Chains A and B, each alone.
Chain A
Amino acid sequence: MLIAAALSALLTLAVLGVLAGDQLWRHRLVYVCCALASAALLVGGLKHLGQTPGTGPAIILPFGLPWMSAHFRLDNLSALFMVIVNVGTVAASVFGIGYCSHLPQPRRVTPFFPLFLFGMNAVLIADDAFMFLVSWEFMSLASWLLVLADHKNPENRAAAMVYLMMAAFGTFCLLTCFGLLAGAEGGYAFSAMRAAPLTPVTSFLVVLLAVLGAGSKAGLVPLHAWLPLAHPAAPSHVSALMSGVMTKVALYGLIRILFDLHGHVSWGWGAALMLVGGITAVLGVLYAILQDDLKTMLAYSTVENIGIVVIGLGLSIAFKDSGEKALAALALVAGLYHMINHSIFKTLLFLSAGAVITATGERDLGKLGGLLKRMPWTGAATLVGAAAISALPPLNGFVSEWLIFQSLFKGPSLPHWAMKFGVPVVGAMLALAAALAASCFVRAYGIAFLGRPRSRAAAAAHHLPGTMRWTMAVLAVLCIVLGTIPVTVTDALSGVIQPLTGVHFAVSADLGWPWLSPVSSTRGSYSGTVLMMTGLSLFVVSILLVHGFGTTKVRRADAWDCGHREDIPESQYTGQSFAQPMRRAFCTSLFAARETVEMPEPGDLSPARLTVRVIDPIWTYLYGGIGRLVDAVADQVNRIQFLTVRRYLLMMFATLVFMLLVVAVRQQQ
């Protein structure tokens, strides 16, 4: 059927991609075929969602482990994620058609791109632990190879190393988790895992390992450290997929294990997830504000949004365990909606970062500026993306944040005191993260696209091929559409969550289609459609009033700037200057942000120097600490290399005696 054909096509394309060689048209052909295959998968997913709810087709293929064949199934959750993943992959593939000519070595990217797509999609339809992990590894290794595409840069090599270690850690955790879920009988199919009972200790360990394993791939603090290193190192269309789509596949794994395979996670874990999500959101966005590199900033912003989604997931778990099924459904819908939104606008923003890098050759905010006039379509699409990620109405980011806030505001109805006190704190953290995200993107968009060019490269930015611009335009339109018709999306999601939470979520039963009123009509409602229409009419009315009462004359002149005529573009605010108030307000204690000024003596002609020093506390203390610990242990163990012959013989003798002792003792029992 369609999906199987598309997946095998992707595998074939991977092989063909190796043969593409140096001919650019062959690379473009591979991307076109990838786009078609992804479109086929997208259509397959949508078709399944459109049907009446029920678990979809299942296939059992005769390869894999010897005592177990490979199980594949497409159910509602998989179909939803298939739609999410493939919207991103279609966009990235079409973008790649134009973009691959600008890569330094397209041969190092084209073979692995279809493999990456294959891996992500295969994870979604895997119905047993073995296929899940194999596809997961396909996904990780293909993306690792893509991170290494520009291997001459030592930073990229270091990033790839960290990524590989974290991916190995994640897979190890998931492997152990699935092993515990399978239980003593060892049934690795998901259907067997659902039925297997769990002791309390096993249950705790399963949830812990799932959070560690899937959370490290998704980017939860403190397991996020690889994300801002690896995502920027890959080519931009791949970064878009890693940030926008691969993190969602990781969250799919988390939802599958916690809500489906395990099914009865206690509210304490829900509280823990909410807290971790809140901390991730705040720290992610604070890191993002401090960055000057466009792509690193976008990677940290991904960390923030993953935190927001995990808050929704944790809340849903807590509600479900306390028996509030309707609220659990609301929280889960909010989390899933935010995943959809984030995949769209993050893909859009990374693709526009790719467009900027292609047009100017610069990634650093300090070298950009005034790009809106040189690249109008890219600028307009990026503006929509930046507004969407800042959760501004009537775009899609606001709808999912509104839904998460509505479910948080119902949090104190839970009976546990930890939740009653914790939910307002997490709510404050979420609100803080959302407001800081808006500051972050005002900064990024304002410095990169507005103002005057800060370097010759920015002043000479050239136009981009049509495929790149069209992709971004389509994604921007999707942002607007998903914000204006939220009720259609939530109705579609209600079919997805029905098997997970056990309740059918009626969204707009009270007021009708345009009004999103999740709990009840008096509880609180929002209508993207009405706001959009009223906003547009007021916009038109204000234009008419102003032009009616006044004049329409415009005169172009130099900037007023309070009478200071500054012709140098260096007098503008830089990224670090913009971030300074927030740095001083938020980052003084945790990030140890310090500014020092070295003034020269009077009469000395050397320039004054302003140094901003910021540390990354998680990297320095946690990862650095683990690294130092490993080094110390290795140093101690290293001593074994330098023993005398007598000592080696002593070691062998001692081991032999110990084993004989063990045998003797056991024989006695």
Chain B
Amino acid sequence: MSAVLAQIVQIFLVVALAPLITGWVRKVKSRLQGRIGASPLQPYRDIYRLLQKEAVVAHSASWVFRAAPYVTFSAVWLAAAVIPTFTTNLLLAPAADLIALVALLGLARFWTALAGMDVGTAFGGMGASREMMIASLAEPAMLMVSFSLSLISGTTSPTQIIAFILGGGVGIEVSMGLALAALIMVAIAENGRIPIDNPATHLELTMVHEAMVLEYSGRHLALMEGAAMVRLTLFMALIGGIFAPWGMAVPSPEMSGANVLAEMVGLAAFLAKCFVLATALAVFETMIAKMRVFRYADFLGGALLLGLLATIFLYVSEAV
């Protein structure tokens, strides 16, 4: 498969797969809570239903409110398009590296926060302010993880990092373990999962992400929900790809025939990794409770310091 074709397949794959992954997480959580729960295909039906409804927009909302769902979804979709999922042979991979990935997610968050403040309600402001506080610690933590990964592999591009690790460049490193722990904490914060935020809460004062999208309805809400689902898939691809890259197709120019088979294997590996990570997420969310808002700084500060430790530890293990 050529790079262009692989890129187009990936662009549509992430969007097609994202609701299934979210549906699976909800299904496992329901089972663990003793309920039968909805089918994993329910999010597809939810999004279709929302698309058919008319969008109700407040009088005080401006064009920022109406444009934000599209901008947010496009930004997250673009970020998901450049992270390798089943193959590293992507056309757009040189356009963005890990730093640009962090910034693209920041772009999505910027617009969502502004949309939350646009209607002029207290809940929107509350969600926006909490989300920006979480981001102010989660983004640096992710950048420190990128720093340690770049020191280990000599590059900031995810495709090159995966190729390096698959090539045997690094064994079991303490720094990789620390970076993995930090990245998991950041992923929980960015996706708004327990213990940072409860995606299924109905109590407004406990909301972070939900409070920003409280005023949205119809197709706007469908886009915001879709963006959250694609973001979850993105992080699973990132964690699974970098820390468990086996199965990923790294095409070499000489073997063009076997490439398609390698990509099928890569696809199966990707699906398996998402399945495992989604189940683990659901179990983790069921086991612990959401923490107080003013403990976020300790938790995410810990992630930042873990990232910093991962970088410093490389000096003693002579991987630098």
Residues of chain A at the chain B interface (Cβ within 8 Å): 369-370, 372-373, 379, 383, 387, 390-393, 398, 401-402, 405-406, 408-409, 412, 420-421, 424-425, 427-428, 431-432, 434-436, 438-439, 442-443, 445-447, 450-452, 511, 515, 517, 521-527, 530-531, 534-535, 538-539, 542-543, 546-547, 549-551, 553-562, 566, 569, 571-573, 577-582, 584-586
Specify which chain B residues have a CB less than 8 angstroms from the CB of A445 in the assembled complex: 114
The 10 closest A-B pairs by CB, nearest first: A573-B125, A550-B51, A446-B117, A431-B140, A451-B120, A524-B156, A585-B297, A452-B120, A553-B54, A439-B132
Instruction: Please state if A405 and B99 are interface contacts (CB–CB under 8 Å).
Output: yes
A424 surroundings in chain B (CB, below 8 A):
144, 147, 308, 311-312
A531, B215: Cβ atoms closer than 8 Å: no
By beta carbon, the residue of chain A nearest B109 is A438
Write 17 A-B pairs (CB below 8 A) sorted by A numbering. Answer: A393-B103, A443-B132, A446-B118, A450-B62, A450-B117, A451-B60, A522-B160, A523-B157, A526-B100, A527-B94, A534-B92, A535-B75, A535-B78, A542-B70, A551-B51, A560-B215, A572-B122
**Taking A451-B119, A523-B156, A524-B157 as contacts, is the C-beta distance between A370 and B60 under 8 angstroms?**
yes
How far is B120's CA from A434's CA once the two chains are assembled, in angstroms?
Answer: 26
Q: Which residues on B sit within 8 Å (CB–CB) of A406?
A: 99, 156
CA A561 to CA B60, docked complex, whole Å: 12
Q: Mark B107-148, 1 if CB is under 8 A from A, else 0.
A: 101100110111111111110111011011111100110110
- Asked if B78 and A534 make an inter-chain contact with CB atoms under 8 angstroms apart, the answer reads yes
Task: Beyond A372-B63, A402-B103, A550-B53, list 14 extra A-B contacts (CB 8 Å).
Answer: A369-B120, A393-B96, A427-B147, A428-B143, A431-B140, A438-B110, A442-B114, A451-B118, A522-B154, A524-B156, A526-B100, A546-B51, A553-B54, A561-B121
Query: Bound complex: CA of A571 vs CA of B215, how far in Å?
Result: 16
A556, B59: Cβ atoms closer than 8 Å: yes
Closest to A571 in B: B122
B133 touches A582 (CB 8 A): yes
* Cβ contact within 8 Å between B75 and A431: no
In the complex, what distance in Å separates the CA atom of A585 from the CA atom of B292? Answer: 13
A554 to B120, CA, bound (A): 19
Per the bound structure, the CA–CA distance linking A445 and B118 in Å amounts to: 10
> CB-CB < 8 A to B307: which residues of A?
428
Q: How many A-B residue pairs have CB under 8 A?
A: 294
Interface SS, B side: helix
- A435 touching B139, Cβ below 8 Å: yes
Provided the pairs A402-B99, A438-B135, A521-B94 are in contact, do residues A578 and B125 lie with their beta carbons within 8 angstroms? yes
Q: How far is B75's CA from A406's CA once the two chains are assembled, in angstroms?
A: 22
Q: Could you say which residues of chain B place their CB within 8 Å of the CB of A442?
A: 110, 113-114, 117, 128, 132
Evaluate contact between A393 and B222: CB separation under 8 angstroms.
no
Chain B residue, CB-CB nearest to A437: B136
Q: Taking the nearest CB of chain A, how far is it from the CB of B26, in angstroms?
A: 22
A128 to chain B, nearest CB (A): 42
- A393-B58 CB under 8 A given contacts A431-B139, A579-B129: no
How long is the Cα–Cα vector from A578 to B136 in the complex, in angstroms?
A: 13
B residues within 8 A CB of A535?
74-75, 78
Q: Are A546 and B135 in contact (CB under 8 A)?
A: no
Within 8 A of A (CB), among B10-29: 11
- Complex Cα spacing A287 to B126, Å: 21
Q: Does B114 lie within 8 Å of A446, measured CB to CB?
A: yes
Is there contact, CB below 8 Å, between A543 and B70?
A: yes
Which residues of chain B in 274-320 are interfacial with respect to chain A, using CB atoms and an 8 Å cutoff? 293-294, 296-297, 304, 307-308, 311-312, 314-315, 320
A562 near B103: Cβ-Cβ < 8 Å: no
Q: Which residues of B contact A434 (CB under 8 A)?
A: 139-140
A540 to B199 alpha-carbon distance, docked (Å): 29
User: Which of B11, B135, B143, B293 has the most A CB atoms < 10 Å from its CB?
Assistant: B143
A549 to B45, CA, bound (A): 12
Asked whether, in the complex, the Cβ of B132 is within 8 Å of the Cβ of A452, the reply is no
A515 pairs with B94, CB closer than 8 A: yes
CB of A542 within 8 A of CB of B223, answer: yes
A438 touches B106 (CB 8 A): yes
- With both chains docked as a complex, state the minimum distance between the C-beta of A597 and any C-beta of chain B, in angstroms: 16
CB-based nearest A residue for B217: A560
| B133-A585 in contact (CB<8A) | yes
Contacts of A425 in B (CB 8 A): 308
Does any Cβ of A come within 8 Å of B46's Cβ? no
Q: How far is the CB of B132 from chain A (nearest CB, A)?
A: 4
Are A573 and B117 closer than 8 Å at their CB atoms?
yes
Interface centre among A387, A427, A435, A452 (most CB of B within 10 A): A435
Interface contact B120-A522, CB-CB below 8 Å: no
Q: Which residue of A lies closest to B66 (CB)?
A: A554
Contact between B120 and A370 (Cβ–Cβ < 8 Å)? yes
B273 touches A (CB below 8 Å): no
**A443: which B residues are within 8 A, CB to CB?**
129, 132
Q: Tell me how far the C-beta of B186 lies from the nearest C-beta in chain A, rounded to whole angstroms.
A: 12
B312:A539 contact, CB within 8 angstroms: no
Residues of A within 8 A of B73 (CB): 542
